[in-house]
């Protein structure tokens, strides 16, 4: 692979140089964007030099794939191989990490919000609260997104299930039945953390197959609302965050999970709109 020249640099206040984005080679951008693993390799090397075996284990990347990636990055001038067998990041590689990580983090958040817009009903997306998320009134450090990909189709669902299992839930809304979520629901009801529970009729029917509806209602008390209209998404709030899971309409597989900070007024208002839409 042909070598690319380092981009024109500019000075930061700290005295370090960072690449000027407009002077980046599109080839560089496309190379990094095609696989998140590549920026992960640079990120790990930016922290410390590694041998390729250590890198393969740390990143869970096949050695053949890792070796090809290292050769490509050596060609770009981002990585150097020492006689000791260690791979080290170069100054140019460190600058790539500085700039591309921030770009990728913002792009990833935007991609997640776009996926969410495609799978949520229009009454939740064609509103000022949601649209303002695209206008960057919510900082990207206040949003986390997990998108289903060909390599990791179940990662968003696992992430949602883990958060549901480990967080102190205040408001929970379930539109699509999932046995993993039902177990977490029962635990949250037993410990009394849920102040508002909204479930669709099909979720209620699914839960009732395993336990008494009357028992569930007695535990939930006045916090339980059953939405007669079908809704095909799940979510919950804690004291600090709103987590929402959007599913594909065709197969009801998790497409995207977005976590937003409730310390932001717009997010809190959107969360209230979700609850109002479901119970009215």
HEC sequence for 132-163: HHHCCCCCHHHEEEEECCCCCCCHHHHHHHHH
For residue 190, what pLDDT is reported? 73
Model confidence at 212, pLDDT cuts 50, 70, 90, reads low
Lowest-confidence pick of 88-92, 172-176, 177-181, 215-219? 215-219
Torsion angle of the four alpha carbons 256, 259, 265, 268, in this order, in degrees rounded to the nearest 10: 80
Do 274 and 172 touch, CB atoms closer than 8 A?
no
Which of helix, strand or coil describes residue 235?
strand
Do 196 and 169 touch, CB atoms closer than 8 A?
no
The Cα-based distances of 195 to 67, 88, 99, 187, 223 in angstroms read 52, 52, 43, 14, 6
Model confidence at 219, pLDDT cuts 50, 70, 90, reads low
Verdict on whether the full-model pTM lies above 0.75: no
Q: What is the mean pLDDT of the chain?
A: 81
Helix ranges, 50-200 (H): 52-59, 63-76, 91-119, 122-125, 128-134, 155-166, 179-191
Decide which of 1 and 256 is more confident.
256
* H helix and E strand count, the chain: 12, 11
What is the token pair recorded at 98?
């500085």
Lowest-confidence pick of 85-94, 105-114, 208-217? 208-217
For residue 5, what pLDDT is reported? 41
Model confidence at 57, pLDDT cuts 50, 70, 90, reads confident
DSSP 8-state assignment for residue 127: S
Q: What is the pLDDT of residues 197-209, one digit of tens each?
A: 888 888 888 877 7
Quickly count: other Cβ atoms within 10 Å of residue 135's Cβ: 9
Residue 115: Cβ-neighbour burial (10 angstroms; 0-12, 13-18, 19+): buried
For residue 216, what pLDDT is reported? 65
Q: What are phi and psi of 15, to 5 degrees?
A: 100, -10
249: CB partners within 8 A, 6+ apart? 119, 232
In the chain, the domains with their CATH numbers are 9-102 (1.10.10.10), 120-279 (3.30.870.10)
CA atoms within 13 A of residue 9's CA, in its CB half-sphere: 15
Mean pLDDT, residues 135-151 taken together: 73
């Amino acid at each position: 692979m042909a070598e690319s020249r380092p981009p024109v640099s500019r000075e930061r206040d700290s005295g370090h140089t960072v690449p000027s984005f407009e002077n980046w080679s599109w080839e560089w951008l496309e190379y990094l964007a095609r696989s998140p693993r590549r920026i992960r390799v640079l990120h790990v090397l930016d922290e410390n030099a590694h041998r390729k075996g250590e890198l393969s284990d740390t990143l869970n990347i096949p050695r053949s794939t890792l070796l090809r990636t290292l050769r490509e990055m050596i060609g770009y001038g981002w990585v150097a191989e020492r006689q000791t067998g260690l791979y080290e990041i170069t100054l140019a590689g460190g600058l790539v990490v500085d700039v591309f990580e921030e770009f990728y983090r913002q792009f990833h958040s935007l991609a997640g919000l776009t996926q969410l817009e495609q799978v949520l009903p229009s009454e939740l997306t064609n509103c000022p609260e949601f649209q303002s998320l695209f206008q960057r009134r919510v900082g990207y450090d206040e949003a986390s997104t997990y998108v289903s990909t060909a390599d990791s189709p179940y990662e968003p669902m696992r992430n949602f299930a883990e958060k549901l299992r480990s967080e102190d839930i205040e408001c929970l809304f379930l539109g699509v039945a999932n046995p993993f979520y039902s177990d977490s629901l029962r635990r949250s009801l037993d410990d009394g953390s849920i102040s508002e529970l909204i479930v669709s009729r099909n979720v209620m029917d699914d839960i009732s197959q395993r336990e008494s509806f009357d028992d569930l209602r007695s535990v939930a008390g006045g916090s339980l609302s059953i939405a007669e209209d079908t809704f095909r998404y799940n979510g919950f709030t804690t004291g600090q965050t709103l987590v929402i899971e959007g599913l594909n309409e065709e197969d009801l597989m998790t497409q995207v999970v977005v976590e937003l900070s409730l310390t932001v007024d717009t997010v809190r208002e959107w969360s209230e709109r979700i609850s109002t839409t479901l119970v009215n």
